[in-house]
Structure formats: C-alpha cells, structure tokens
Amino acid sequence: MSVLLPQLYVVGAGPGDPELLTMKAYKILQTADVILYDNLANKALLELAPRDCECIYVGKQPYGEYTPQERILELIKEKALEKGRVIRLKGGDPYIFGRGFEEILFARTHGIETFYIPGISSMQALGFEDIPLTHRSVSESIWVVTGTKKDGSLSADLKLAMQSNATVVIYMGMKKTADIALAYVEAHRGETPAAIVQHASLPHKKTVKGKVKDLQLMAEDSKITHPALIIIGPVVALTI
C-alpha cells in the first residue's frame, strides 16, 4: 500500500533468526514500497513485503565488496520521492554501530518523513550461548565498543573498559584480535575470560571460549571470522 508522502523507516532486523523480529517491524514490512536491505538482514524477511515491493540489496561484506554509503543515501532519496515508503532494513539494531541515525538525518534534510523501529541487537543474542551481559555480583555494567574505528585503529575506549569488571562487547573486532589480546596482556589482564560468537541466533552458530590472551589463536582454531562478536569478562566463564 503506497503512501502519498515520502517516508523512510529505519528498521532493525534483529540478530538473524527471523522470529526475533519485533511485531512493529513485522507489520511495517507488509506495507513497504521499497526495501533497502543489508547483508546481515535475514532475506526470509523479504517474503513479508507486498508482491509489488521493490527489494534492493545494499549490503556491505566486512572488508570485502560493499555498497558505498553515498549510494545508499542516493537510493533513500530517489526511492522515497519516487515510490513513497522506503524501509531501510538493517541487521541487529540500526542505532548500534549501524549508521541508522546518519540515514535518518539525511532523509530529514530532503523533506522525507522518518521513523525508527529498534531491533534486537546481536549482543542480546549472546544469551543463547549462556553468556549474560550482566550477572549479579559478577558484572554490573557493560561496555560496548567498536574494534575498528573509521581510521582503522583500535578504539582507545577499550583501555578504559578493561580497567573494570564490566562485560566488554566488541563489534567489528575480528581484524584486531591480536591487538586486543596484546592490550589486555600489557594491562596484566590476559587471563580474563573471553569468547567469540558468530550467528548466535542461527543453526550454523559458532562459539569459542578461552582467555583473552589467546584471542587470536581462538579465532584461528575455530575458523571464526567476521562478522562475529568478541565478549570479554567474568560472565563468559559462568558455565565453563
């Protein structure tokens, strides 16, 4: 069903399992005129769209082929003005390292009405692997950091995070496993429990647990690459 005014819905697709989509996202996908979907959004969700909906892949393979962000913005503007309701379907939650708010701001500057529908973040799916983000008397807070900044360097926030017993969750850190391990070793915290989890909500999930000092070896031995989350802290060892 088309709308008269151009609209952009930035929608979180969740951590992979299509059944973890929110009810609000489920309903809005059924009204889409255009869906711009990411690499990490489960393609089964496209089946919810109307038959005449235009579905366009704008994914970004980590460290590989990708659709430039500038092109995605062009498509948002072009398709919203041409067809009406554009759904920007992004894996996990669009406001957690997903550049979702950048797209919202861009759309607003072009007179496009905007809406945000949160999604279950991939870090929330860690519970499927018996890794709670917090646990009473073990971890009372969470640090969520990016492993690789825009310039390719390791986030300086990591050194702040490792000073506490907080659970540290690192997104986009698989190219930095050696650097992360070294940072913990140099801070005399190399024995801290750590895990790497990939596709936690899907049948082909992979998980490896160990010590942060061995992070690079853990990744290599388990053959886990990107995309994956790195989790560091006492919560990892609760069921070891």
Q: List the catalytic residues.
A: 38, 60
Instruction: Give yes or no for a contact between 98 and 121, defined as CB atoms under 8 angstroms apart.
Output: no
Distance CA 168, CA 170 (A): 6
Residue for token digits 């050696």?
178
- How far is the CA of 155 from the CAs of 42, 167, 182, in angstroms? 29, 16, 14
Which neighbouring-strand residues pair with 14? 92
Distance CA 172, CA 198 (A): 12
Distance CA 189, CA 217 (A): 17
Distance CA 16, CA 114 (A): 24
Distance CA 179, CA 47 (A): 41
